[in-house]
Amino acid sequence: MSELTADEIVDLCLRHTLYDWQQQGSTRPIAVASARGCEFFTVDGKRYLDFNSQLMGVNIGHADPRVAVAIAEQARVLPYISPFMATEVRAELGAKLAELMPGDLDKVFFTLGGAEANENAIRIAKATTGRQKILARYRSYHGATYATITLTGDPRRWANEPGMPGVVHVLDGYEARFLSPLKIEMLPGIDPALAARLRAAGAGRGDGTSVADRIDDLLRETGFGEDAWS
């Protein structure tokens, strides 16, 4: 049972904390009290079916007793240790993930979230290949840090430009029927000549013609082809 009312919780949250992905002045979050399995419950007692596992992160279900016990036990024995140390849970989780990963992938780098994982993946890829350019889709969200918001294709990137150098946004290889002329125009920063050529190649006709195979040629001609990546 919350000591504060739903309105008090929401008002205090809005007054002293910033909200991701929202216009701060117009957002009105839901005051949540608890969650179990595939449902969560508001402070006012309303029940929601959580189709999205919140941010796709609670796939095992909310408040699974096995997870609650494991967290409590770890907090009692060793709640924090520097990442330079070796621990039994780290050893076991690393080995388990190596077992599940495809091919000869057998090493993981633990991070605290998606953006941080992407940041480290970029740095590892750059260090390994010696190359600088990164391809990212226009239809994408990759995180809210400086590098990952640059990778992000959707409009959340715009206010953060210019971002990290070396990022090149590309179209998805979708069927032409999904690429209406309007959507091509809306792709931020797309060269108008390239937009016109994509349309001419079949995008937006709605006849199901695939433009994916022709996009490669168009990108190569406009300087974004394979040879530009090295």
Ligand X SMILES: Cc1ncc(COP(=O)(O)O)c(C=O)c1O
Contact footprint for ligand X (CB under 6 A): 55, 113-115, 118, 141-143
Nearer to ligand X, 69 or 135 (CB): 135
Least distance from C-beta 101 to ligand X, angstroms? 19
Is residue 148 helix, strand or coil? helix
Nearer to ligand X, 113 or 166 (CB): 113
Distance CA 185, CA 90 (A): 48
Find the shortest distance in angstroms from Cβ 57 to ligand X.
Answer: 8
Q: At closest approach, how far in Å is the CB of 151 from ligand X?
A: 9
Name the minimum Å distance from CB 118 to ligand X.
6
Q: How far is the CB of 152 from ligand X (least distance, A)?
A: 9
Give the residues across from 42 on adjacent strands: 32
The gap from C-alpha 207 to its chain's centroid, in whole angstroms, comes to 32
Would you tell me how many other CB atoms lie within 10 Å of the CB of residue 114?
17
Taking the least distance from each CB to ligand X, the nearer of 142 and 199 is 142
Closest approach, Cβ 144 to ligand X, in A, equals 6
Nearer to ligand X, 55 or 193 (CB): 55
DSSP string, 51-117: TTHHHHT-TT-BT-HHHHHHHHHHHHH-S---TTS--HHHHHHHHHHHHHSSTT-------SSHHHH
If we measure between CA atoms, which residue out of 177, 183, 199, 204 comes closest to residue 139?
183
Q: How far apart are the first and last CA of the chain?
A: 59
Smaller CB separation from ligand X, 160 or 209 = 160
Give backbone dihedrals phi and psi of 137, rounded to 5 degrees, phi first.
Answer: -80, 150
Closest residue to bound ligand X by CB: 114
State which residue, 114 or 181, has the beta carbon closest to ligand X: 114
> Which tokens in the block code for residue 78?
């060793």
